[in-house]
Chain A
Amino acid sequence: MSSEATGKPSRNFPFLILPTLVWYVLFLVIPLSFIFVFSFLHKGDFGRIEYVFDISNYSRVFEYLYFKMVMRSVFLAFFTTATCFVLAFPLAYVMARSPKSLKNALLGLVIVPFWTNFVIRVYALKLVIGDSGIINKTLMGLGIIAEPIAMTHNLVGVGIGMIYNYLPFMILPLYVTLEKFDFTLLDAAYDLGANRFHTLIKILLPLSLSGVVTGCIFVFIPAFGEFVIPDLLGGSQSMYVGNLITEAFLKNHDWPFGSALSSILVLMSMIAFLFTSSGAMLRGQKAGGH
């Protein structure tokens, strides 16, 4: 533990990270580099790649049709992140302040969805919100509505699916941060004349910022490239960047265009990541290394 105290990396440092490092270089850095190179090449016949420099893949991304999908994806990712945060924060707060036994039970409930496959969960969701799903059947049976409420094959379905799937990724980092939070600080703030709102804004949120940032990154980045949920729950209107990329690679065999889209996706995710985490770092340094 002395190495931790002095802040020096352990002597075992290179050996301990070597396997993961090799894995990442081999299966992440190298393939992504290929994608990046492909994005500047020309599409040949039958999905072949001609080794000719071609910037047009990128200019195509900014054509109205495609750019609209990029912006739609940005909006969906923002919407998902914001809604998940609003839903997850109070829940994580209650979990963190619960007695130990209840804490573990709630944590278990949050993790339960991970026991089943993602695609199965999305299909299962259809059984609830579909036109002949439980909600519509019940409401029609009770005579409240005559026609089923359309919650699939449209944006409502995409929204519900996204929030449902990404909520745990927001709850867990928030919970981990709040679990360590010293709640007497809230008492101290009330005692010093802060109302609930000021206590939230001035004390609770700034001190749980690392969890907020982690949660937002965990949700925003995958939500940005999501294509399964729009595919299964959205209608013909819901084409997002993710769908576009899958189509470019799998249907149109247009690897250079798919690569250009992917590169832009990675770039935008990286910008979002650097932006939020550097903001958090700055705040953290101000707080004296917290």
Chain B
Amino acid sequence: MSECSLQFENVCKVFGEGTNARTVVKNVSFSVKDGEFFSILGPSGCGKTTLLRMISGLERPSTGIVKIDGQVMNHVHPHMRDVHMVFQKYALFPHLNVFDNVAFGLRMQKVAEKEIKERSFKMLEMVRLAQYADRPIQKLSGGEQQRVALVRALVNEPEILLLDEPLGALDQKLREQMQSELTTIQKALKTTFIFVTHDQNEALTLSDRIAIMNKGTVEQIGTPTEVYENPSTPFVAQFVGAGNMFKGKVLEEVQGQTANLFRVETEGFGILTAKTHEENGHRPKPGDQCQILLRPEKIRIRVTGPDSNQANINSFKGSLLERIYSGPTTHIKLQINDKLPPLMAMVANQTAQKMPQLKLNEKYFAVWDATDCTILKEGTT
């Protein structure tokens, strides 16, 4: 077994011909490690499902190479691949009962009936559905159907398990249950999971690594922390979590700091200091146009400004426009410049922290560390 269970090399997928041709996947390259929980996150229509179908073999790449376990798989039929899929609406066979659905794949492989029974029941027990083996599919709830769909794929012991928005049809509570169940199963079986979703929270919670897709290209691949804390493009910044965006022009690099800090002249917010990430392959030059991301929870609200004018602290004064209490946090809007949208901040409602009594229309300072706001690389928008 090679270390990479899946590799995409410059894969493109074009649907249609001539003037009707639509490029759905554009020059995508990435690799997934053995046993990894890898998510593909993106808005609907970004090509993520097509990507998944190319792994399963239900679609063939127009150009480029798809490798599974080191083998080029471009022309291998889906039924010959050691890859199984959990479909969006489960695609369980309605004329078969729970057991026959789970046994379907093993029967196609001509496994002995005794072994089929053992393996299927072992799997059904794992998801607590063994007592439902004889039930017709229609008699199961959404969550139970979802588990049958999962087990129907897993019982074949695939090299890679593909999951196409499998939790989309479940209600919030059930979805959270299934999320933890999925991680438990993945850790236990050590199967490579490739999980497609448009739900950023789901991707952040479940994944070892996330690939963020937009308009057919992969914008960033990284751990949940990396893509949230250090998004490389404006699209990633806004798709994964909320944020304040500033437009500006790079002035100079701040010397004598461990992080890569730059001073940036922003439109409407004056000069602020922000960091970049070398690993994003991005190093701005003075004079470059850029966008800066600041997550709302990085902002501290102060009655007075910072003590000294430190180079790595940003501080802006504005009037309190809105204050919404929402349990663990309070959402705040601070108007810094009348011509621009207000700054959005989110502060934790800790008892230990002495919260200033915030009053509407009073002036407050929004303060944050330079290392908490990021200069982004231009990507597809």
With most chain B CB atoms within 10 A of its CB, the pick from A188, A190, A192 is: A192
Tell whether A187 pairs with B94 under 8 Å between CB atoms, given A192-B104, A288-B137: no
A192 to B92, CA, bound (A): 11
Q: Check if B95 sits within 8 Å of A187, measured CB to CB.
A: no
Interface flags for A238-249 (1: CB within 8 Å of B; 0: not) read 000000000000
**How far, in whole Å, are A193 and B107 apart by their CA atoms in the complex?**
9
The answer for the CA separation of A224 and B15 in the assembled complex, in Å, is 48
What separation, in Å, do the CA atoms of A288 and B97 have in the docked complex?
9
Interface residue? A182 (CB, 8 A): yes
**Residues of A contacting B156 in the complex (Cβ-Cβ under 8 angstroms):** 192-193
CB-defined interface of B67-95 with A at 8 Å, one 1/0 digit per residue? Answer: 00000000001111001110111011111
Inter-chain contact B85/A203, CB cutoff 8 Å: no
A191-B79, A288-B94 as given contacts; A198 in contact with B108, CB under 8 Å: yes
Tell whether, in the assembled complex, residue A192 and residue B152 are in contact, meaning their CB atoms are under 8 Å apart.
yes
For residue B83, which residues in chain A have a CB less than 8 angstroms away from its CB?
191
- Contact B93 A288, beta carbon cutoff 8 Å: no
Nearest neighbor of B155 in chain A, beta-carbon distance: A192
Task: Tell me the A256-290 residues at the B interface (CB within 8 Å).
Answer: 283, 286-290
Give Cα distance in the complex from A199 to B138, angstroms.
21
B143 at the interface (CB under 8 A from A): no
Find residues 166-205 in chain A having any chain B CB closer than 8 Å to their own CB.
182, 184-185, 187-195, 198, 202-203
B102-131 interface code vs A (CB 8 A; 1 in, 0 out): 001100110000000000000000000000
Given contacts A194-B108, A288-B94, contact A187 B87 (CB under 8 A): yes
Cα–Cα, bound, A189→B79 (Å):
8
B58 contacts the other chain (CB 8 A)? yes
Shortest Cβ distance from A287 into chain B, in angstroms? 4
Task: Tell me if B91 and A188 are in contact (CB < 8 A).
Answer: yes
Are A187 and B91 in contact (CB-based, < 8 A)?
yes
Checking B56, B95, B109 against A290 with a beta-carbon cut-off of 8 angstroms, the contacting residue is B95
Distance from A7 Cβ to chain B, minimum over Cβ atoms (Å): 15
Interface size on B, residues (CB 8 A): 30
B-chain residues with CB within 8 Å of residue A289 when the two chains form the complex: 138
Interface: A92 (CB within 8 A): no
Interchain CB contact under 8 A, B79 and A194: yes
Tell me, in angstroms, the Cα distance from A195 to B57 when the chains sit together.
Answer: 13
Residues of B within 8 A of A203 (CB): 93
Minimum CB–CB distance for B343 against chain A, Å: 46
Asked if A162 lies at the interface with its beta carbon under 8 angstroms from chain B, I say no
Nearest-CB distance from A234 to chain B (Å)? 42
- A287:B77 contact, CB within 8 angstroms: no
In the assembled complex, B222 has its CB within 8 A of some CB on chain A: no
- A207 (CB) vs chain B CBs: closest residue: B95
B136 interface residue per 8 A CB criterion:
yes
Q: How far is the CB of A181 from chain B (nearest CB, A)?
A: 11
Q: Taking CB as reference atom, which chain B residue is nearest A183?
A: B91
- How many residues does chain A have at the interface if contact means C-beta atoms less than 8 Å apart? 23
Does B285 lie at the interface of the complex (its beta carbon under 8 Å from any beta carbon of A)? no
Residue of B whose beta carbon sits closest to that of A285: B136
Contact yes or no, A184 B91, CB < 8 A = yes
Kindly name the residue among B79, B80, B84, B92 whose own CB sees the greatest number of chain A CB atoms within 10 A: B79
Q: B139: CB under 8 A from chain A?
A: yes
Q: How far is the CA of A286 from the CA of B135 in the complex (A)?
A: 10
Residues of chain A within 8 A of B77, CB atoms compared: 190, 195
Once the chains are docked, how many angstroms separate the CA of A207 from the CA of B91? 13
Asked if A222 is an interface residue, CB under 8 A from chain B, the answer is: no
- Say if the beta carbon of A47 comes within 8 Å of chain B: no
Asked if residues B105 and A193 are in contact (CB atoms below 8 Å), the reply is yes
Contact between B85 and A288, CB atoms less than 8 A apart: no
- The winner among A190, A191, A286, A288 for most chain B CB atoms within 10 A is A191
Residues of B within 8 A of A198 (CB): 108
Contacts of B108 in A (CB 8 A): 192-194, 198
Q: Are B78 and A191 in contact (CB under 8 A)?
A: yes
Instruction: Enumerate chain B residues within 8 angstroms of A194, measured Cβ to Cβ.
Output: 79, 104, 108
Complex contact B84–A192 (CB within 8 A)? yes
- What 0/1 pattern do residues 25 to 57 of A give for CB contact below 8 A with B? 000000000000000000000000000000000
List of A residues within 8 angstroms of B79 by Cβ: 190-195
In the bound complex, what is the Cα–Cα distance between A206 and B104 (angstroms)? 15
Query: B115 → chain A, closest Cβ, in Å?
Result: 15
In the complex with contacts A287-B95, A288-B138, A289-B138, A191-B85 CB distance below 8 A: yes
Check A188–B87 contact: CB distance below 8 A.
Answer: yes
Contacts of B78 in A (CB 8 A): 187, 190-191
Some 24 contacts from A to B, beta carbons below 8 A apart, are A182-B91, A184-B87, A185-B91, A187-B87, A188-B93, A189-B93, A190-B58, A190-B77, A190-B78, A191-B78, A191-B85, A192-B84, A193-B80, A193-B109, A193-B156, A195-B77, A206-B95, A207-B94, A286-B95, A287-B94, A287-B96, A287-B136, A288-B94, A290-B95
Chain B residues proximal to chain A, CB less than 8 Å: 56-58, 77-80, 83-85, 87-89, 91-96, 104-105, 108-109, 136-139, 152-153, 156
Q: What 12 new A-B contacts, CB under 8 Å, besides A187-B78, A287-B136?
A: A184-B88, A184-B89, A187-B91, A189-B104, A191-B56, A192-B79, A193-B80, A193-B108, A194-B79, A202-B104, A287-B95, A287-B96
Closest 10 CB pairs between A and B? A288-B136, A192-B105, A287-B95, A188-B91, A193-B108, A190-B78, A184-B91, A288-B138, A193-B79, A191-B85
